[in-house]
Amino acid sequence: MAGSRPTIPHRDDESAGPAPPTAAVPDRPPLPDGAPARRDTAPGGTVRLIVARLGRPHGIRGEISAEVRTDVPERRFVIGARLHVSGSPRVLTLSGARRHQGGLLLGFEEVPDRTAAQDLRGALLEAEIDQEAESGLDPDAWYDHQLIGLGVVAPDGTLLGEVVAVEHPGAQDLLVVRRPDGVRRLVPFVTAVVPAVDPHAGRLVLDDPGGLLHDGDGPP
């Protein structure tokens, strides 16, 4: 992310396009992710996040094209990884991954041929993430689902609104803040503007001397 904050690892519908290859996978949101990260909580202090959307079958051996929606494909698409099909009890075991035309081709143990691959077209894949283990990788990085729903307060504690979405247009991540009157405003997610994030307290601090939340309204 631009400014002094790193990019939100987001988008696991952490998404910005395929990343360089690793030994296990030729790589990489919310958003995305890309669309916003899925907020399903799984047993054992984990959460399921959308990491890919499956597309067309490729060839006759069950490979499927995938639109990657994670900023950390090297951790999500390792051989043997078990990925959940969104909205279904089905779980797929990754047997192969390689780069193809700006995305990935994925193979699964449970998908032996083109017919089986065709049945998965359009499916969203979710990875089960241990939030505590991964939060230690970067203390100043946040998943979309950790930010959405947080109250937005001024440095003096005055309630300013709520984070209702996170956007990832490119140069820097943006928080979509809904004010108490229902109006939505975009706020750059940089330390100079958002000096503190406390998911446990359910809030973040917005230092807004320039009137970002009231831009276009006249005097705040």
In this structure, is residue 115 part of a structural domain?
yes
Q: Helix (H, G, I), strand (E, B), or coil: what is residue 54?
A: strand
Number of domains in the chain: 2
CA–CA distance, 33 with 152 (Å, rounded to integer): 22
Q: In what order do the strands lie in the sheet with 196-198?
A: 184-188, 174-178, 159-167, 151-153, 203-205, 196-198
Kindly state whether residues 132 and 162 are assigned to the same domain.
no
Q: Quote the CA–CA distance of 177 and 153 in Å, as a whole number.
A: 11
Domain span at residue 40 reads 1-141
What pLDDT does 170 receive? 58
Statement to judge: residues 196 and 157 lie in one domain: yes
Q: What is the pLDDT of residues 5-55, one digit of tens each?
A: 433 444 445 433 333 332 222 222 233 333 333 334 444 567 788 888 899
- Sequence letter at residue 76: R
Bridging pattern class, strands 103-108 and 40-42: unpaired
* Ranges under pLDDT 50 in the chain: 1-12, 14-43, 218-220
Identify whether residues 91 and 173 lie together within a single domain: no
**Residue 184: inside a domain:** yes
pLDDT for the residue 21: 30
The reported pLDDT for the residue numbered 112 is 96
Output the six-digit token pair for 209. 């001397």
Task: Give the pLDDT of residue 199.
Answer: 85
Are 159 and 51 part of one and the same domain? no
Residue 28: per-residue pLDDT: 24
The secondary structure element, H or E, covering residue 171 is none
**pLDDT at residue 30 in the model:** 30
- Residue where a domain stops, chosen among 103, 126, 141: 141
pLDDT for res 131: 66
